[in-house]
Amino acid sequence: MAQFNFGANTLYNALSTLEQTPDIRQDDIRTAIKEWLKIALPGLSASEQKDVTRMADIIRHSFDDFRVGEVQARHCLTFLNQWVLDGKLRTAQRYRAVIGKFFRWAIVQGYRQDNPVDPIRLKTPVSRDRYITDDEFAAIRAKLLGTDNHMAASGEMMQIFVDLLYLTGQRGTEIRLLRWSQVDEETGVIHFKPTKTAKSSGAKVEITITPAIAEVLARAKALVKAKARISPYVIHNLEGSPYTAHGVGTAWERARKRTDIENATLKDLRAKHATDARIAGYSEAEIQDALAHEDSGTTRIYIKQRMARVSKVELSLPKDVKKAK
């Protein structure tokens, strides 16, 4: 029998090739997604990490019987359609984005050569044009305190939360996580660094502490003193920790249901801030600065979708119509 001497170099090259070749045992969806999350989560905010992890877990269970290379576009479409058919287009788009990122990673890892999400096109969600009126805001705000039969323990703090949302125009995350150290009473501003733009424009916003905002902050301080609590957060729960997005969202939704008001969300308060500011005479540029939008087009959409266009066209009836009278 012939003998072959491959030599040390050949052996090392073979071992190197094996190390670089994806382990077929890692090719199941569950294991692969766990590996992907290790590089996908770092750099994201705490809330983003929680959302991506939650969605990845749902994806894992839905594709449990597949290996990464077996997933086809039709499988992804079936998965996404469970939200599309319910009219939850934004949710479907978010899942499409997460799956797409995972499969791009899988291509680099050598698990497959294409991205099965690429051929899938979802409908663009209808732009939201809901404007919360002053009366609606006041009604829901009042119900945050609860009912005559059951007062909400977090009611006063929730009122402070929605007041700051409206007065500052900031996103819910920024107000939920607002620390007293960001409130600079000496210079008269609140320092914000929006988490949504932290990795893009890195925009920072300084909101002037107006008399209205100062009054809300004073209420927050008085509430802390009355409850004998210590917390670095302006908005906090009974333990002094910041509220979760789910927590404040649930409080708002319960208050809304105590009224006869439909289709009003916490996010609509940011749009109300922008619209009311424009009506009050502030320029789009000033509102853009407050909202930390990267371009004026986004600000313009925020405002125009909620402001009714007023026609100033004045015509008289045609001459023939006048004669027919």
Q: Give tens-digit pLDDT for 188-230.
A: 999 988 776 555 456 688 888 999 999 999 999 999 888 778 8
Q: Comparing 8-109 with 134-304, is the CATH topology the same?
A: no
Q: Where residue 55 falls among pLDDT bands split at 50, 70, 90?
A: very high
Listed range (24-28, 146-150, 172-176, 247-251) with the worst mean pLDDT: 24-28
Q: Dihedrals φ, ψ of 39, to 5°?
A: -105, -20
At the top level of CATH, the class of 8-109 is: mainly alpha
Q: Give tens-digit pLDDT for 116-157.
A: 999 999 988 777 788 999 999 999 999 999 887 788 888 999
Residue 97 CB contacts under 8 Å (≥ 6 apart), including other chains: none
Tell if the pTM clears 0.85, that is, is over it: no
Q: Map out the domains of the chain as residue ranges.
A: 8-109, 134-304
Q: Which is more confident, 75 or 192?
A: 75
What pLDDT was estimated at residue 198? 53
173/160 Cα distance (integer angstroms): 14
Q: Give tens-digit pLDDT for 161-199.
A: 999 999 998 989 999 999 999 999 999 999 988 776 555
Beta strands in the chain (DSSP E): 183-184, 189-192, 205-208
Fold observed for domain 134-304 = hpI Integrase; Chain A (1.10.443)
Task: Check: CB of residue 256 under 8 Å from CB of residue 143.
Answer: yes
Task: Check: CB of residue 146 under 8 Å from CB of residue 155.
Answer: yes
What pLDDT was estimated at residue 301? 65
